[in-house]
Structure 1
């Protein structure tokens, strides 16, 4: 691709010319403390962009004082009947009456179930699992409590008193490099002796618009003549970062590369992981100037036929309010922020939620005395002044 393409300054679009026959697919930019960007290199290809996270090493832990119930009890019963594992179990760590950490136990296998020494109505579970720590803390809170969630369960987990072996130091996984192929470096990169700090890899679609931004470190291991010709260089970054997409979402990126979605429900055939990746790509809108004042009033229609999980709910909500390929939050807090304004639509308005029973039933499992996520979203909309009509 030749002709005018994108350059970035202060996060807003300017023009940049790429005078080569090969397509321009990536821009490597450095980011300073004020979030200002400087273009370091324009590149045509990247190896190591799609990376599966390394599997954590297996460990043996003991879950103490546990009373399995709800979805977790059902999963545990299935595992006891065979060599079937529990899958990935979520662990909510509480400090008193507030959840403060979220851990994941990967591919849990129950090795033994023993009566709890302090309460005959409870059990101690010896399990094998890979441990993915909470991103923000690995230290136990002052008054720790634990709640376990079976795969797919979002509320009403099983409480336990302790998890032996959970809180300990673990080595960081080895860094996975990122190879940028066919790059045209700028003077800003060529003139630097120190390439530390952090930046972004801006991923462009076929028309040269930003469709994704991947945060990464700027530690350059090597710059060498490119395998595709002397006019370019290839750049090896020591660590491509942990924001890279999974290999399973390649088809979604390929779809967005051709053009932004223009039809509704193109996200619907994907599983929860794919729908989350769809939402991630929809956030490219932050690269464009605000469209103008938020719209208020009027009626909107949400197609609820495919709202079977959290990301599906937010995909459908964004399409209902702003159209295909749009962003309007990805979880409760982000959704609440969008309702405050600045994203194109602001209450009051009327939302007609068609086939709402699909979401009501999908989120109903194991709720106990709490609101389901569907009910939380409806209540949040109404609190902000939205008239919700469930059809």
Structure 2
């Protein structure tokens, strides 16, 4: 059995719902959101948006993902993401040449809502490179949208506990429940977890043995890894990494998944107390992108396969303590020129890895780390 189905009770104790030999549909790319047309009204652009509007080929220039914060007088009350936003057309406001009406093409994803949308409100725009301007309205943002159709998942060769057995006979009973699907490595340790819906679409006897069932879940969950990262999972299935730089052969997407797998706290038998002082050596030979920087940093500070942040904010939190290492200490960054000279990836690091590298060094020094670049 390679998979466990569990659900936490009111006291947080995990109850076993079933064990499965296989899963079809564990890896699946997210269903793409439909493209829409939106209009930024009365927009005063800055940053990347201002640069794009000034370019002669403006209709061919993308902005990447654009965060739209709906603001009242004091704070952000809603966040939206315009995924892969592209400027389709624009025109200056006749009454104010500093303002524009800008037509965008993008997929729209709602991220967070705190309170009802204020009236009137204004909109702050943010891209990966920083603030992109302010607008008085975003036409098309609040249109009704249907949820994407769920992608099913097949549980193969399941030895089901009573709740699941009842669910296969009366599927509607469990339509609103969610379970955690725990993925085991070859030693039987939990290497990953994914949330799945417990709406059962059907069940049939399994070819793997008498008393086992193949069960179809209508919704296999929205956080499944991409098929492109199967090789990373195959490597982790062999057991927790014990050698450095095993992440190095993968591209940025694979390295991001490597970092995702390091976040599984139950791999650790117990938290280790924070220690400070001493020297740590970072092997910078393979730091060619942002995920690679965090892979190398974690290995330098806490060892292969361990977690020490996977992006800027999480890394800053780890430096504050609670993750085995806390400043002051000395970090010797070997082959630091690799990060300085790595070409920019517009999708993940539009400012270039060099700028991110410099920001990380400054953050470390502010927190009391002595950084030696070699």
**Both proteins in one fold, TM over 0.5:** yes
Alignment correspondent of 2:257: 277
Cα deviation, residue 146, structure 1: 2.1
Alignment correspondent of 1:172: 147
Query: 2: distance between equivalents of 1:30 and 1:122?
Result: 53
Q: Indicate yes or no: 2:183 matched with 1:203.
A: yes
Question: Structure 1 residues 39 and 317 mapped into 2: Cα distance closer, same or farther (>3 Å)?
Answer: same
Q: Which one of 14, 27, 36 corresponds to residue 37 of structure 1?
A: 14
The answer to whether the 8 A contact 1:62-1:125 is kept is: yes
Alignment correspondent of 1:91: 67
Question: Structure 1 residues 303 and 267 mapped into 2: Cα distance closer, same or farther (>3 Å)?
Answer: same
Q: Indicate yes or no: 2:101 matched with 1:130.
A: no
Query: 2: distance between equivalents of 1:98 and 1:351?
Result: 38
How many residues are matched?
361
Q: Indicate yes or no: 2:370 matched with 1:387.
A: yes
CA RMSD of aligned residues (A): 3.3
Alignment correspondent of 1:105: 82
Q: Indicate yes or no: 2:156 matched with 1:181.
A: yes
Q: Indicate yes or no: 2:319 matched with 1:339.
A: yes
Question: Structure 1 residues 64 and 274 mapped into 2: Cα distance closer, same or farther (>3 Å)?
Answer: farther
Query: 2: distance between equivalents of 1:162 and 1:357?
Result: 45
What are the Cα deviations for residues 252-309 of structure 1, in whole angstroms up to 9, with x where unaligned?
Answer: 2122223333332332343433222111111224343215433332111123344454
What are the Cα deviations for residues 63-101 of structure 1, in whole angstroms up to 9, with x where unaligned?
Answer: 2344555544555667x6397462633224163576665
Question: Structure 1 residues 336 and 101 mapped into 2: Cα distance closer, same or farther (>3 Å)?
Answer: farther
What are the Cα deviations for residues 191-223 of structure 1, in whole angstroms up to 9, with x where unaligned?
Answer: 677434322100112222211110222233323
Cα deviation, residue 162, structure 1: 3.2
Query: 1: distance between equivalents of 2:28 and 2:115?
Result: 25
Question: Structure 1 residues 109 and 284 mapped into 2: Cα distance closer, same or farther (>3 Å)?
Answer: closer
Q: Indicate yes or no: 2:122 matched with 1:147.
A: no
Query: 2: distance between equivalents of 1:245 and 1:167?
Result: 30
Q: 5+ residue gaps in structure 2?
A: none
Question: Structure 1 residues 107 and 132 mapped into 2: Cα distance closer, same or farther (>3 Å)?
Answer: same
Cα deviation, residue 245, structure 1: 1.0
The answer to whether the 8 A contact 2:27-2:225 is kept is: yes
Query: 2: distance between equivalents of 1:60 and 1:103?
Result: 15
Cα deviation, residue 373, structure 1: 4.7
Q: Which one of 281, 295, 303 corresponds to residue 315 of structure 1?
A: 295
Cα deviation, residue 129, structure 1: 2.1
Question: Structure 1 residues 289 and 230 mapped into 2: Cα distance closer, same or farther (>3 Å)?
Answer: same
Query: 1: distance between equivalents of 2:23 and 2:53?
Result: 43
Question: Structure 1 residues 130 and 137 mapped into 2: Cα distance closer, same or farther (>3 Å)?
Answer: farther
Query: 1: distance between equivalents of 2:53 and 2:246?
Result: 36
Cα deviation, residue 170, structure 1: 1.5
Cα deviation, residue 235, structure 1: 1.5
Alignment correspondent of 2:228: 248
Question: Structure 1 residues 384 and 83 mapped into 2: Cα distance closer, same or farther (>3 Å)?
Answer: closer
Cα deviation, residue 172, structure 1: 1.2
Q: What TM-score, normalized by structure 2, do the two folds share?
A: 0.82
Query: 2: distance between equivalents of 1:121 and 1:357?
Result: 41
Question: Structure 1 residues 263 and 156 mapped into 2: Cα distance closer, same or farther (>3 Å)?
Answer: farther
Question: Structure 1 residues 67 and 61 mapped into 2: Cα distance closer, same or farther (>3 Å)?
Answer: same
Q: Indicate yes or no: 2:97 matched with 1:120.
A: yes
What are the Cα deviations for residues 22-50 of structure 1, in whole angstroms up to 9, with x where unaligned?
Answer: xx221111122333211111111111211
Q: Indicate yes or no: 2:365 matched with 1:365.
A: no
- Helix, strand or coil: the match of 2:210? strand
- Helix, strand or coil: the match of 2:130? coil
